[in-house]
Amino acid sequence: MKNFYSATLIYLITIFLGVAQAKVVVEFAYPYAGLFEITYEKILPKFYKAHPDIEIKIRAPYENYEDGTNSILREAVANKLPDVTMQGLNRQAILVEKGIAKSLEPFIAKEANFKKDGYHASMLNLSKFNDKVYGLPFSISLPIGYYNMDVMAKAGVKSVNDLPKTWEDVVGACKKLIAAGVKQPMFWGWNITGNWFLQALMWSQGQALMENGKFMINTPEGLKALETMKMLFEGCNMPNLGTGEAQAFFNSGNSGMFFWSTSSVAAVERNKTDFTFKTNEYPGLMKSGPKGLPAGGNAAMLVSQSKDPKVIDASWKWLKFITSGEGAADVARTTGYMPPNQAANEIVLKDFYSENPNKATAVRQLPLLSDWQAYPGDKGLAITQVIFDSIEGIVTDEYNDMKELQQQMDEEVKDLLPR
């Protein structure tokens, strides 16, 4: 009998300890494993040290932002949503409109030390809808120029001050490089997710691509954007490479210029061959530079379907941790993204940008920060694809008449917009 009671006591103690030590599990999903895997490897140990009672269960990463949004829309119907999701800044609106994303205002209100002004106001506004915060920006990017200075020397470019200021300058440099034997001197990131570079050309002229629900390609600025692409693709012998191929080609040392998101600066620094690598401001359509540029990147959104208050609380703790302090600072350390939190930039990263000038380029462009726009309605992703296909047609020489293409794009997108 004594052994029976002893065994029972041990069993009960074991059950009690198991319950006491059980961790709250937060399911989390994010895009672009190649960019962010190393970031979360840095963040997780710090989070677990601060919150040993929480476990972050990371789902298979989304391929890109469109895949992330499609996944969430499907999972919402099937009641299989993660608790926290990273979504492209231009894809937040549809999750708010469909009631999938939860407002973060109640959580912010309960935080004694939470200060909204810890985030750059222009960045925090990227996740505001109806004056409520639905996401906390995690990583912010802007388009910049990447340069192989060893190759650029063949075009007479000896210093950063000599780098192209306009797209005409870029084409001029391409012609010199081609004459010097460089077969493919440049890649311009037309195929970045969400038609980002088309929006960059529009914002560079001070014109949004969407305005009051209308597609603005059928404007002088729209035609100028298409004509600029045609000039770049033809004048620089630009190949039709996939996004991974384009970066790998630049890393190989065979190209002089690569126009891309600042997000890949750290990846290029880690993987490039032995050449002098510099970044510089994004060229404009005039010597004064762009009037604006679209903010890229993603935001953390709470989409949990859990009824357990412990899971919701743990989800908020994770969401807050990765967008502030050391969590936000690790974004800059491991990628080329800028952390949206002012404290992370000014305190944690006080000396970081002076020691890492290639990552400081985008920070200098912060005054140009403009919306990365989504296309309204349920067919927003279809519109993205229509525009993608149109631009690819310029790259492959399927389209040569930019006025004709302008009209075609205008008609096709209008058919997909809400009436």
Checking if the pLDDT of 412 tops 70, the result is yes
| Angle, alpha carbons 380-382-387 (nearest 5°) | 95
- pLDDT value for 126: 83
Q: Residue 214 to residues 193, 217, 331, 381, 403: CA-CA distances in angstroms?
A: 21, 9, 35, 16, 19
Q: What is the number of other CB atoms lying within 10 angstroms of the CB of residue 146? A: 28
Checking if the pLDDT of 342 tops 80, the result is no
Mean pLDDT confidence for 244-255: 94
Mean pLDDT confidence for 166-188: 97
Q: What pLDDT, in 10s, does the model give residues 180-190?
A: 999 999 999 99
- Sequence-ordered alpha helix ranges (H) in 143-290: 149-152, 167-179, 196-204, 220-235, 243-251, 265-271
- pLDDT value for 116: 59
Mean pLDDT confidence for 290-302: 95
Query: How far apart are the C-alpha atoms of 264 and 270, rounded to whole Å?
Result: 10
Lowest mean pLDDT among 220-224, 243-247, 258-262: 243-247
pTM, entire model: 0.84
Query: How far apart are the C-alpha atoms of 262 and 357, rounded to whole Å?
Result: 12
- pLDDT value for 148: 98
In the chain, the domains with their CATH numbers are 2-140+297-367 (3.40.190.10), 143-294+375-416 (3.40.190.10)
At residue 5 the predicted structure's pLDDT band, cuts being 50, 70 and 90, is very low
- pLDDT value for 339: 80
